[in-house]
Chain A
Amino acid sequence: MKHFRSRVLACLAVSICFLLGLPVSTLASAANGTLGLAFTNTDSKDVFVSNLHGGQSLWFVVAPGASQSRELLISSSGTVPERVLMSLGFLAQTAARQYLDPSKKADSSDWVSFTPSDFVLQPHTTQSVTMNFTIPSNVHIGSHTAYVLATADAESKKTTAQYSVPQAIAISRPLFLGVGTNLDMAPEILIQDLLGTNFKGVNYLNLQVKNTGKVPFSFAGTIDLVDSRFGNRKFSNLRFQSEPLAPNQSTRILIPKPTGFSPGKYDVSLQAVLGSQVINKIWLSKLIRFSPIIPIFQILVRVGFALFFIIIIAFCVRFLRRSEKKVDDKKAEDEALSTLLAPPAKKKAPAKKKAPAKKKAPAKKKAPAKKKAPAKKKAPAKKKAPAKKKAPAKKKAPAKKKAPAKKKAPAKKKAPAKKKAPAKKKAPAKKKAPAKKKAPAKKKAPSKPVKPTK
């Protein structure tokens, strides 16, 4: 008995000490305690909203003058009691992201109420909050976005530290509010295409859709495919569901390729329910084959082709330039030769004698004749004017001076002169010359005097 009593007393003493010590330890841990928060919501009870996206998202469609509510669940994972404040925040949006802008006020914040909006959440408990939108009757039909914000800090802000920075945590989730009736806010979709796609090595049917309406939604339905050639090849009831699709947003819904499906032409039938609408879409003889979404290989092939074409173009341009240069060089060479050979042209007698020979091979023989003739003739006459074609041209300059305009004229007139060579009359040749100043004639001319030298 004594043992029993002493045990009871000991237990009582321990219990009293524990109860007395608890507030002290609670106070001490308040500053060092941690905050924790999570936030979700129950499904919407609005059938229209539920049909848009299973009711899970924070979407509201409320007619002017009406109201609608939703249950939110705020849960604590902290170790100290937290004071929670519910509010709406401004949802700022850029092309790349959406974010909470604390410096601005949400345009729908005047229409919302939270019950309760300010409460204490004990550690590891969950609080239900009713969020209610009441839209005044004079509000215009339209779409609004905002963030629902749950902000928590420690209920007790007592601290023994001389210098301290209190902390708070917040969780924000986006909401959509459509002001209007269900008809005003009826979802609209544009079914753009159905393709085959290879994504990360897996083949998918790729359904491309765009939200063209005023409300976000999640597009769900089924697809049936029948082979256009072999009607017994059917792939039925392929289910799909998109992620929530904001107004004006496009997306690709990837549906895993059914077993046994092969690329080819198919008659495709799509059935879906969107809001209160039933959507049917049919594609006949739709070619479905699987190409990668990120076509690295295709890009590489294109780059390869581009390089190939660039090389060809570069080569052609280079070739064209080079051949132009060659023609210019030849012209210059011919001119040089013609001027070089101009003085011997004075001795027309021998030249004219050999004129008939020229008739046999007129223009074509000139090339070899030019090269050889000046070399042989002028080398001895003008002291070493060997094979260089341009060198003799320089030396010929004085020759030109000796027989300036008059001499050149007959040279140019040699073409007609050739024909009239048998006449051996310089005068008539000179008269005809001014009429025919043809480049080819100049070239042919030198060949006449060349041959006589041989």
Chain B
Amino acid sequence: MSHSTKHSVTLKSRIVAGAIAVAATTGLIFTLSAAPAANATISSSASVATVPLCVWNITGVTASISLTHPSISPGDAHVNYVGNDFYLTGSQAAPTLVYVAKLGNLAASTTDEDNCSFYTANATAQATSGAVITLAIPSSTGKFTAKITGVEDPAMTFPLDGVTPSGSTKPQTLTVTLAPSACKNNSVTGISNNWVTANGDIFLNSGSSPSTEASLTKTYTTTSSSCSFGTGLALYIPGGKTPGTPGGLYTYTGPSLVTTLTVPGN
């Protein structure tokens, strides 16, 4: 093959290669430019029988959690407060239970999925709602009140503000230990669990944003959704405080710990 023929062949092949490259680039752009179908909220329709209305319930929250100063505890080993950080801990006797059931039912059904229904007046569509459970300490009552013979001693009272006061090495905060259990989308089948739960310690101060304990979206909510969680508490009475009545028997009452069940749907 002569030199010029080779040249022309090379030129031709280069042109062809260039054309292919351009076509491939166009194809690539076309392939990538077409947006895939977007996700969206999906609603469905179904027929249901006439059964009681489903609502979210919360139960099992003890009226009060008692705290004790364990003999073997972090920090001060004294039995009574002597001016050091004084550890207190305690837990709720039984787990808090959040569940779907008819109004006032004490637990989610474990045998009948049709024990209740989320339905509208014309009974053609489920109007399921998810649930979000949060823990918070209201800012208005955010302090541990020390009392002796029923009278508050301001010197021993302390706020739950997250600050480490002088004379103490621990922040003034309430540690809540959460232990979720038996969380199910459907307590009858018991197969899936799409609950999002907090596990372990969360730290609460008065007025801080509520901490989410558990949540379930409406997509996974059924007529027998259920979740339970144990609650443990711990805190320190800060060191460096001088009681107004040394030697007196003080009682401490914490701020109210509020567990809120929010039903965000309809």
Contacts and interface: CB of A to CB of B under 8 A. Distances in A.
Interface stretch (B183-191, B221-229, B238-246, B258-266): B258-266
A291 B56 contact: no
Interface in B41-57: 41-45, 53, 55-57
Contacts of B20: 312, 316
B264 A174 contact: yes
B73 to A, nearest CB: 13
Contact of A313 (B24, B90, B256): B24
B83 interface: no
A36 B58 contact: yes
Given A102-B138, A102-B210, A364 B125 contact: no
A207 B249 CA distance: 70
The contact size tier of chain B is 35 or more
A430 interface: no
B233 interface: yes
A241 B121 CA distance: 12
A172 interface: yes
B58 A171 contact: yes
A33 B63 contact: yes
B43 A253 contact: yes
B32 interface: yes
Contacts of B106: 36, 77
B261 A165 contact: no
Given A165-B257, A172-B263, A174-B264, A309 B62 contact: no
Interface residues of A, number: 100
B52 to A, nearest CB: 10
Nearest to A367: B3
A54 B41 contact: no
B132 to A, nearest CB: 7
A167 B39 CA distance: 41
B251 interface: yes
Interface string B211-228: 000000000000000000
Contacts of A252: 40-43
Contact of B121 (A56, A153, A172, A239): A56
A154 B120 contact: no
A363 B1 CA distance: 11
Contacts of A53: 120, 127, 266
Interface stretch (A110-118, A156-164, A281-289, A344-352): A156-164
B194 interface: no
Nearest to A296: B36
B127 A99 contact: no
A293 B27 contact: no
Interface string B83-119: 0000010101110000000011110000000000000
Interface in A279-318: 291-295, 298-299, 302, 305-306, 309-310, 312-313, 316-317
B158 interface: no
Nearest to A78: B59
Nearest to A253: B43
Contact of B64 (A39, A164, A249): A164
A163 B64 contact: no
B65 interface: yes
Contacts of B21: 312-313, 316-317, 320
Contact of B266 (A76, A244, A292): A244
Contacts of A249: 41
Interface of A: 30-40, 43, 50, 53-57, 73, 75-78, 80, 97-100, 102-103, 124, 126, 147, 151, 153-154, 156-157, 159, 161-174, 199, 204, 208, 218, 220, 239-244, 249-256, 291-295, 298-299, 302, 305-306, 309-310, 312-313, 316-317, 319-320, 323, 326-327, 330, 363-367, 443
Given A73-B103, A165-B257, A171-B260, 6 more contacts: A32-B62, A98-B264, A163-B68, A168-B258, A170-B260, A309-B25
